[in-house]
Each structure stands twice: as structure tokens, then as C-alpha cells.
Structure 1
Amino acid sequence: MKKVLLSEKIADAGIDLLKKNGFEVRVSPSTDEATMKEEIADAYAVIMRSSELPAEVIAAGKQLKIISRNGTGINNVDVDAATANHVLVAKVNGANAFSVAEYVMTTILMLSRNIMNDDQMLHAKKAELSNLSLPGFSTKYQLNGHEIRNKTLAILGLGHIGQVLAKLAQAFGMQVIGYDPYLKSSPVKLYDDLQTLLPLADFVSINMPLTAETQNLIAQKELALMKKTAYLINSARGGIVNETDLAAALNSGNLAGAAIDSFNPEPPAPDNPLFSSKNTIITSHIAGTTIEANDALGTGAAQAIIDFAQGKMPQFPVNPDVFTEGR
């Protein structure tokens, strides 16, 4: 029976699918390097969530044939090392696109309507409520927000998530523009550079993978181009945004607010400046992890292993050249 190692537990739907297809499933007791080396030694396949899979661990997998990523991003897997060891890397595309897009719209609405600030103010000032009407309270503390209708959303990255997000935003009456240097055709107007796009946006949503090109894509220079009334939402990867520069822009009033779901590194250190920056919603990498999305990701990651074991190319290979029919 072939062993599938899970670096971290995936959805039960994915585990059940593997077991129904005759695989032994083992969840690693820890994601530290020493434990992973021991656990991967006799594994036919490994499914990775957000923890790191470095070259040393991959090399320890003497029977390892396939690494399946329970998600879209592959920056936590050393693909070069996998290729050198003749191990196929596969991922799951699009399974959590709606969940991430829905998260972005949720945080856009929360920021625009001052939901977080209103909640905190009501708790802090509850003793005053008997002396004021609620509309009077909202006016006194400047809690009345804005509609998002007719506001401009700039989407950085028009892949699966970005295109779903564009449709949702348009349904709310927003104007949608985008930036994606790799896209040949787009459902929204594309701009060739951030210098032209960022000053136009009321909201900026980052929906790109973390690569050498996108590392620190949004830093002090780019933040300075944005409207002081604008908001930034990052539901992609933490390394795309310079967190120190973002916190400085928020605290100085050069940016109205932000919603951050990914950090660099993860988990964020206790002294991460975004924990104390003004008007900032921070969440624990939940944008793409709804129950529905987790089921889809888990079954997608499991199916890649099943397909490979049956001699088929998985749907979304990362290094397809290592695949050989019938391995």
C-alpha cells in the first residue's frame, strides 16, 4: 500500500478519497525538518499545505514520486530540488477562487462602511449610548462610511481569483481595472504599469503569486502613489507587500486602511507592525479556507496523486517534464 504523507491535515473529503483508492494516509506529527525527513523516507507522495518543503526534506524521500500542493501557490516547495530528484510537483488551481474573491469583497465592505471601527467604538463608548441616538453617535464619532458603488477597484493579477473578483465587484456597481503583465486578454481594462493604475484606485486587491518579480511589489514608492482615501487588500502572499512600509503609510494617514490575510513570514512575529497599524483588518490566512474551498482543495490534491499513480498527468503539473507515462 502506497503511503501518502500529509504535512498538515487536509479536508476529510481528500483523505477519504485517497483511502478509497487504496492509499495509506499519514499526517505528520510536526512540520519541522527533522520530523518531515523521518516521515517522508517511505512516502510515495506528499501533500503540502502552507509549511515549507525544502530540498533536504525532498532528498530524504527515497521513494517519493509526487508532491501535491493543497492550493495554488508553490513558493513553499523547492520545485528545483523536486525536479532534480525526478519528483513531479502538482497543484490545485481555481478551487478556492470564489472564497478568496468573497473575502476581498467582505473586507472592502467592512473598510468602506467602517464596520470594524463602529464595533470597537460601540464597545468602548457604551456608557454614552443612553444620551445619544445611534445616528447621533455615528455622526459624533465619524462612523458613517461610504458606498462602494461607482468606486474603482484595481485588481493586481487577473487569474482565476481576479476574474471572479471582477464579476463580484461589478455586481456591486464598482468600476474595475487591472494589472497583469502576463494576461493576453482581459474582462476589464488593463494598465501596463502600477504608476498609472494606483492613483486611480479607491481599493487595490492583490491576487498574484509570490515570485521574484512580485517580491516587494508594493512598497513605499507604490503606496505613495495611492490616494490617501484608498484601501489595500492582500489575500495573496505576504512577501508581495512591504509590511513596514504599509504600516508607516497607515499610521501616517497616507492610506485609509488595509485588510491583510497573508504575512511575511508566517506566522507573523509578535512585533509585526501591522498588529498595531491604524484601521487594519488582519486575519489568519482564511481567505481561501472556507469549508467548501477546503473540500475542493483536498479532493483536488488527492486526485492529482491518484491520477499520477494511474499513469495519468495530473491536471495542474508544475514541472511536467519529469512525468513519464506509466511510472
Structure 2
Amino acid sequence: MKKVLLSEKIDDKGIQLLKDNGFDVHISAGTDIETMKKEIKDVYAVIMRSSELPAEVIDAGENLKIISRNGTGINNVDVDEATKKNILVAKVNGANAFSVAEYVITTMLMLSRKVLASNKLIHEKKDQLTEIGSLPGFSTQFNLNGNELRGKTLAILGLGKIGRELVKLAQAFGMNVVGYDPYLKESPVKLYKKLKDIYPVADFLSINMPLTAETKNMITANELATMKDSAFIINSARGGIINENDLAAALNADTIAGAAVDSFNPEPPTPNNPLFTSKNTILTSHMAGTTIEANQALGLGAAQAIIDFSNGKVPEFPVNQEILASENK
């Protein structure tokens, strides 16, 4: 019986699908390097969530044939090392696209309508509310009257499946949507050819690109300085794309109006991460794409990749396809 190791637990339906197809499923006792090296030694396949799978762990997998990523991003897996070892890396595309797009809209609304500020003040000043006279008066007094999304410009960096879902949701709110994606030939919205040109027009900027050598530290103080002081940034992609020190400084200096950050660099964030104390910042626990519905789809997709590979089929979303070519020679 082929053994499958889960670095962290996936959705129960994904686990059951593996068991129904004759696999022996184990959940790792931990995600640290030494534990994973021991756990991975005799497994046929491993499913990774967001923890790291470095070269030394991959090398310890004496029988490892496939690494299946329970998600889209593969920056936590050493793909080069897997390729050297003739191990296929597969991922799941699009299963959480709606969840991430919905998160972006949710945080845009929270920031634009000043939901967190209103919640905080109404709790802090609960004993003074009757003296103020009316809640609308309270909102006016403390500058809590926010703005609508309608008519505002949303700039989306990356128009893959998530970006395209976001386009539909934003347009339903009456927003003007523009985008940047150098790999796209056709787009549902106006595309900017140069990144530097999109920052000044954005009322909201949504980062929906993978972390690569090209996108690492893509947004720094220089780019933030070109944005409207009323603009908001939402990063539901990967930490490292936007410089966190520069973002915190821009928020505290009112260079931009606010931000929502779901991914960090490193992750989890350290206690001294400057975003913990920056102004008007929503911080969430890498939850944009982890709704119950998305987790189920991701777990099933990651499991199916292993089942397909074991049966001699090509998984739907292989990453290092050269492995498949070498096996067919």
C-alpha cells in the first residue's frame, strides 16, 4: 500500500478520497525540518499546505515520487531539487479563486466604510453615546462616514483565475477595473503595459500575483509614493511582493489610507513586524483562500493529483512537466 504524508491536515474529503483509492494516509507530527525528514523517508507522495518543503527534506524522501501542493502557490516547495530527484510537483489551480476574490471585496468594503474604526470607537465610547444624541451624529463627529466602492478604480495586479473572479465582483459594485499582467494576451479589462503607470490611478490596489524573482519586493516606498493618499492596498497573494517596512511607513505617514494583508514575509510574521502597529491596517491569518468550500476543493484536487499520477495519468496541473517527458522516453 502506497503511503501518503500530509505535512498538515487537509480537508476530510480529500483524505477519504485517498483512502478509497487504496492509499495509506498519515499526518506529520510536525512541519519542522527534522520531523519532516523522518516522516517523509518511506512515503510515495506528500501533500503540502503552506509550510516549507526544502531540499534537505525532499532528499530524505527515499521513495518519494510526487509532491502535491494543496493550493496554487509553490514558493514553499523547492521545485528545482524535486526536479533533480525526478519527483513530480503538482498543484491545484482555481479551487479557491472565488474565496480569495471575495476576501478582497470584503476587506475593501471594511476599509472604505471604516468598519473597524467604527466598531472600535463605539465600544470605547459606549458610555457617551446617549450624550451625543444620535448615532449618525456620532459617525459625523468622529469622521466615520466612509465611501462607496461604486465609481472607484480597482487596479488588479495579476489577472489569473483569482483576478478574473475579482473583476466580476468589482464590476457588480459599479467599480472601474483595470489591470496589469505581462503574461496575458487577452483581458476582460483595460491592461496597463507599465506597472509604474497603474499605481497613480488606483483607489484600491489588489495584489494577486505569485511570489517570483520578478515580483519579489516589487512594491516599495518608491511605488507607494506615487499612489493617491486616499488609496488602499490589499495583499491576498504572497508576502514578499510588497516591502512590509515600507508599507508600514507609508501607512503611518498617511502616504496611503489603509491596507489589508493576508500573507507575510516571513510567515508566520515575527512579533516585531511593523504592520502590527501600522495605522488603519487589517491583518488576517492567510485565510483569504481557506473557506470551508475552498478547503474541500483544494483537498480533493491535491488528492486527485496523486491518484492520477499513481494510475499513470498526468495530473491536471503539473509544475515541472519535464519530469513527465523524461519518464516517457
TM-score by length of 2: 0.98
1:11-90 alignment runs, 5 A limit = 11-90=11-90
Matched residue, 1:272: 273
Indicate whether 1:194 and 2:195 are aligned: yes
1:1-327 alignment runs, 5 A limit = 1-132=1-132, 133-323=134-324
Report the secondary structure of 1:258's partner residue.
strand
Deviations 1:61-103 (A, max 9, x none): 0100000000000000000000000000000000000000000
> 2:78 and 2:96 mapped to 1: Cα distance?
23
Amino acid at match of 2:54: P
Amino acid at match of 2:38: E
Report the secondary structure of 1:266's partner residue.
coil
Query: What displacement does 1:326 show?
Result: 8.3
> 1:193 and 1:207 mapped to 2: Cα distance?
16
Deviations 1:173-200 (A, max 9, x none): 0000000111111000000112111100
Name the % identity: 71
In the alignment, structure 2 segments of 5+ residues that lack a partner are: none
Deviations 1:242-283 (A, max 9, x none): 000000000001110000000000000011000010000000
Query: What displacement does 1:325 show?
Result: 6.2
RMSD: 1.0
> 2:196 and 2:113 mapped to 1: Cα distance?
28
> 1:128 and 1:326 mapped to 2: Cα distance?
75
Report the more deviating stretch, 216-225 or 95-104.
216-225
Deviations 1:107-147 (A, max 9, x none): 00000000010000111111110112101100000000001
TM-score by length of 1: 0.99
Report the secondary structure of 1:178's partner residue.
strand
Query: What displacement does 1:320 show?
Result: 1.2
> 2:10 and 2:157 mapped to 1: Cα distance?
29
Query: How many residues get paired?
Result: 327
Amino acid at match of 2:180: Y
In the alignment, structure 1 segments of 5+ residues that lack a partner are: none
Tell me if the contact between 1:310 and 1:326 (Cα under 8 Å) persists in the aligned partners: no
Tell me if the contact between 1:201 and 1:226 (Cα under 8 Å) persists in the aligned partners: yes
Query: What displacement does 1:321 show?
Result: 1.4
Report the secondary structure of 1:240's partner residue.
coil
Amino acid at match of 2:3: K
Tell me if the contact between 1:232 and 1:258 (Cα under 8 Å) persists in the aligned partners: yes
Query: What displacement does 1:104 show?
Result: 0.1
> 1:138 and 1:309 mapped to 2: Cα distance?
60
Amino acid at match of 2:4: V
Report the secondary structure of 1:238's partner residue.
coil
Amino acid at match of 2:116: M
Report the secondary structure of 2:225's partner residue.
helix
